[in-house]
């Protein structure tokens, strides 16, 4: 890709993001996060998908008060308004993993486990193969120990 094509792609992506930013302001946050999420999940360009999913998370985060986040840390799944944010975070982790941003993927998944110790999104099943493939055996052991009472 030459420099001119690269600049053209950046211009298109910037205009695309500006358009969706304006669009999200015209819709309630619920619609905005869903619009960004849907666009991220079908985006062909990985950078675009990541940026759109981050925006989706930002919109979904607006449903959670800082107080609710602090008071429910570890049990955030019990707060219905937090679920869209957590689902978007999981989707972002998947996009990172799909594009070989392994450390970013792991960080997102581990943060989700801090938010929801009961692991209602089954993050452990996403992390096990990653830890195994990355030869992160201590992390794999710790994860399986934390969830050993579950029987899975």
3-state secondary structure 14-49: HHHHHHHHHHHHHCCHHHHHHHHHHHHHHCCCHHHH
CA dist 102 and 87 (Å) reads: 19
**Tens digit of pLDDT for each residue in 93-110?**
999 999 999 999 999 999
Range of the structural domain that residue 80 is part of: 65-152
If asked whether residues 83 and 10 sit together in one domain, one would say: no
Contacts 24+ apart (CB under 8 A), 51-56: 51/13, 51/17, 52/17, 52/20, 53/88, 53/91, 53/92, 53/95, 54/92, 55/17, 55/20, 55/21, 55/24, 56/88, 56/91
**Tens digit of pLDDT for each residue in 36-77?**
999 999 999 999 999 999 999 999 999 999 999 999 999 999
If asked whether residues 85 and 148 sit together in one domain, one would say: yes
CA dist 40 and 54 (Å) reads: 9
Task: State the total domains in the chain.
Answer: 2
Domain's final residue, options 62, 82, 115 = 62
């Amino acid at each position: 890709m030459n420099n001119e094509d690269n600049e053209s792609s950046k211009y298109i992506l910037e205009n695309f993001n500006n358009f969706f930013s304006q669009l999200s302001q015209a819709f309630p946050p619920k619609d905005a996060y869903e619009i960004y999420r849907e666009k991220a999940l079908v985006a062909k360009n990985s950078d675009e998908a990541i940026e759109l999913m981050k925006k989706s998370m930002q919109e979904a985060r607006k449903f959670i008060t800082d107080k609710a986040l602090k008071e429910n840390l570890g049990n955030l799944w019990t707060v219905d308004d937090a679920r869209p944010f957590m689902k978007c975070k999981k989707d972002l982790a998947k996009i990172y993993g799909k594009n070989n941003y392994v450390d970013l993927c792991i960080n997102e998944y581990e943060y989700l486990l801090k938010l929801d110790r009961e692991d209602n999104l089954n993050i452990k099943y996403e992390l096990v193969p990653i830890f195994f493939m990355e030869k992160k055996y201590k992390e794999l052991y710790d994860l399986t120990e934390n969830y050993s009472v579950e029987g899975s």
